Amino acid sequence: MRLLAVGGVIAYRALFNWTTPSMFVGTLLVGPLFQLLFFAYLGRQLGVADDSFYIVGNAVLAASTACVFGGTMAVSNERRFGTLGHVLLSPRPRTLVFLGRAIPYAGNGLLIAAFSLVVGSALLGLRVPLAAVPGLAVTLAVGALSCAFFGLTLGALGLRFRDVWLVSNVSVSLLLLLTGVNVPADHLPGWMRVVGGGLPITHSAEAARRLVDGDGFGAALPSLSKEAAVGAAYAVTAALLLKVFEAESRRRASLDTL
Amino acid sequence: MSVLRLIGRATLLHVKQLSRSQFEIATALFVPLVQATLAVYLFRAGTEPHRLLEAAVGAGMMAVWSSVLFGSGGAIQNQRWQGTLEMLMLAPRPPALLVFPITLATAVTGTYAMIATLLWGGLVYRIPLDVADPLAFAVSVPAAILGLGMFGLLLASTFVLLPNANAINNTLEYPIWLVSGMLVPITVLPGWTGPVGAVLPTTWASRAVRESVTGSGPVWPSLGVCLALSLGCLVAGALVMSYVERRARANATLALA
């Protein structure tokens, strides 16, 4: 547990030694908020769904930038900055080291999602029932964690492929389309709904909408369980890929190839 | 004439350079397709499924802006990372003339996205390319790209003065899409956004292109305002660029500033 928590926090602090508060505010708080406003106004104009649909969905999705790119950076930046070899030389289990990295990013994602929900609701006049707040906190946390493990899975590809940023950029844009956050799922083709069901955010956005609609935690629980299952699946996938690609990169002597 | 030749050749050089980057090309092609698909499903789901072509063109303009924003915003920084900034500044030409082709090239590579979204819309979603005024469309798209390239010079020169330009870069994508009315009509936005949008070349560029597609208004006045505002940005950008260059030379911070 110590390795998981302390390792993750140190890696997170190291990342924020490179970046700045203005970068955090601009990229992770203001950017997702404008994304929320953009889709809320677009949805309002097209009459696709009400403001609540867009505010809640995009607030849950707001965690994705921090979590997907964070998870990717957790692995691929080690390679970029030449520290991957040192991490892999460590006598501790690498799976725990890397999975621990996802936790601070998920915390970060939770903060961003909560900020987007609060500010988006205040700007567009959405009233969230007080009773829904604890359930929403759990939902946003599960969504963020699931997203962070998804990011870590993409980051694991960074051990094998050079241009993992391309994969991350494309994945983040696909989340916009396939998770049903901006287009109601029943307006998407069947195959997109199936793919979306296997992506993070889809089920947590659904759970959050039920909570905001006042349906209660019981009604949100099935979707929340699905989101947790998706997150767990990505955590296992990330661990497997990290193991396989580490072994392969040692065999091919391509650990630090950029 | 030699100025035009310089701009033309340098733009071609930078377009070629950008076109060698798998990341740039894949991002310029794939991400806009996702956005165009999203726009198509949103317009279909809503009350205005007849505006699909407008949605595809709007998604294309959004992609051109993203290309200009991230390409031009980081133009100086990229030259610095490549180690070519000093050589550019040593050239016996005003710095703005050397940086403008870079920003113009980012707008030109953004046209990949415009073409891709239109082809995607036509081939996958059977959106007929029924452009109301083909001549105006053929003129307004390159003119809008030229205008955004000029706007890019102002971004490039201003951002180099700001220590946290990347943070601004990452923030400006959605707000400009929004207030420029690229996909969301300006009329549904709060009133105070009107004047903000009115001074942006992006607003008039997307308006001109939309008008040429839908025939909803006269294209040429919008295009004229777009180019006039862009020219203003070009002059302002050139002045800022000269100031930045002088300051960097005086402080010996060209490679650091």
pLDDT tens by residue, B38-95: 989 988 888 776 788 888 889 889 988 988 888 887 788 788 888 888 888 888 888 8
Length of chain A: 258
The pLDDT value recorded for residue B246 is 86
Enter the tokens of residue B224.
Answer: 């004229």
Q: DSSP letter for B164, please.
A: T
pLDDT computed for residue B168 by the predictor: 78
Whole-angstrom distance, CA of residue A8 vs CA of residue A4: 6
Each of the 258 residues of chain A gets a pLDDT tens digit; together they read 777 777 777 777 766 655 677 778 888 889 999 999 999 999 988 888 899 999 999 999 999 888 888 888 888 777 777 777 777 777 777 778 888 888 888 888 999 999 999 999 999 999 999 999 999 999 999 999 999 999 999 988 877 777 778 888 889 999 999 999 999 999 999 999 999 999 999 999 999 999 999 999 999 999 999 999 999 999 999 999 988 888 887 777 766 655
Position B257 scores a pLDDT of: 43
Q: What pLDDT band is residue B161 in, cutting at 50, 70 and 90?
A: confident
Distance from CA of A47 to the nearest CA of B (A): 5
Residues 6+ positions from B95 with CB-CB distance below 8 Å: B88, B89, B241, B242, B244, B245
pLDDT of the residue at A223: 96
Residue A80's contacts (CB-CB under 8 Å, 6 or more residues apart) are A258
Q: Is there a contact between B175 and A34 if contact means CB atoms under 8 Å apart?
A: yes
Q: Average pLDDT over chain B, rounded to whole?
A: 86
Helix extents (H) in A127-216: 133-157, 164-178, 190-197, 202-212
Helix axes B22-45, A164-178, angle to 10 degrees: 0
Q: Which residue type, as a one-letter code, is found at position A101?
A: R
Indicate the DSSP class of residue A180.
Answer: S
pLDDT at A236: 94
The yes/no answer to whether this complex scores an ipTM above 0.90 is no
Task: Give the containing element (helix H, strand E) for A132.
Answer: none
Summarised one tens digit per residue, pLDDT across range B132-147 is 899 999 999 999 988 9
List chain B domain ranges: 2-251
Measured between beta carbons, the chain B residues lying within 8 angstroms of A176 are: 34-35, 38
CB of B162 less than 8 A from some CB of A = no
Asked if A146 and A201 touch (Cβ cutoff 8 Å), the reply is: yes
Q: Is the pLDDT of residue B184 over 90?
A: no
Q: Judge whether A177 and A49 are in contact, CB under 8 Å.
A: no
Q: Over the range A27-46, which residues count as b (16 or more CB within 10 Å of their CB) and which as e?
A: bbbbbbbbbbbbbbbbbbbb
Cβ atoms within 10 A of the Cβ of A230, count?
24
Question: Mutating which of B23, B34, B47 best tests the A interface, going by the most A Cβ atoms within 10 A?
Answer: B34
Is the distance from CB of A235 to CB of A99 less than 8 angstroms? yes
Overall average pLDDT of the B234-254 stretch: 85
Confidence of residue B220 (pLDDT cuts 50, 70, 90): very high
Mutate to test the interface with B, among A45, A169, A181, A186 (most CBs of B within 10 A): A45
